[in-house]
Structure 1
């Protein structure tokens, strides 16, 4: 499913995307994130604050990370929808402290202080931004 090409595209900076979640009752949330990183061809890791996104993921571990790149015309826009399943999260311990140190080194201590949890997702599906019957690789 995922390939080194997807990993390169997903991790390219600068970029932002939208993480969409829903709670157990189906109430939807969408939030902008720049921090998610693919660590291997099936895993995404990201930092979260103590917020609605994290609350909803604890109720319903399904999410979608949408990456959008604008083009000259709407037909030139590119992107992906990466479907995720939260496997685990840490609000304390070595995994969280290691991630906070990386955040502090990359963007500063103030950003690291806002990190409440580090979340690990499994990629379950990848689809193009606009699904016109081509595979996701045709949309990059």
Structure 2
């Protein structure tokens, strides 16, 4: 599920909001030059955090290669780092891509109820095949 929201302009308030959304420490990573993906700082080591297939697929699509590790729990996508601190807004093209990848992953996961994948490698490949690339740029790079 994708939910849009606005972060405050002040960096310390942005961090507070991200910590609240992710329920703890925050790690942000650059998988795309116009966006960051933020996840809980302890990832799979944090109790109760499930693999976030949509976040993994989004990061893999943006990088142009299958990530060899998972992203766990809630993920928050922000715009890039600002020169004066904090995070910028997500542009419309990136926002639409986040929504499209999330929808594609949801459809694949739903199809597995009746037709489970043969194994993990096949599951990963199927998810990535279903994900659209970012329009206007190959894997988000210009």
Q: TM-score, normalised by structure 1?
A: 0.29
More strand by share: 1
Q: TM-score, normalised by structure 2?
A: 0.28
More helix by share: 2
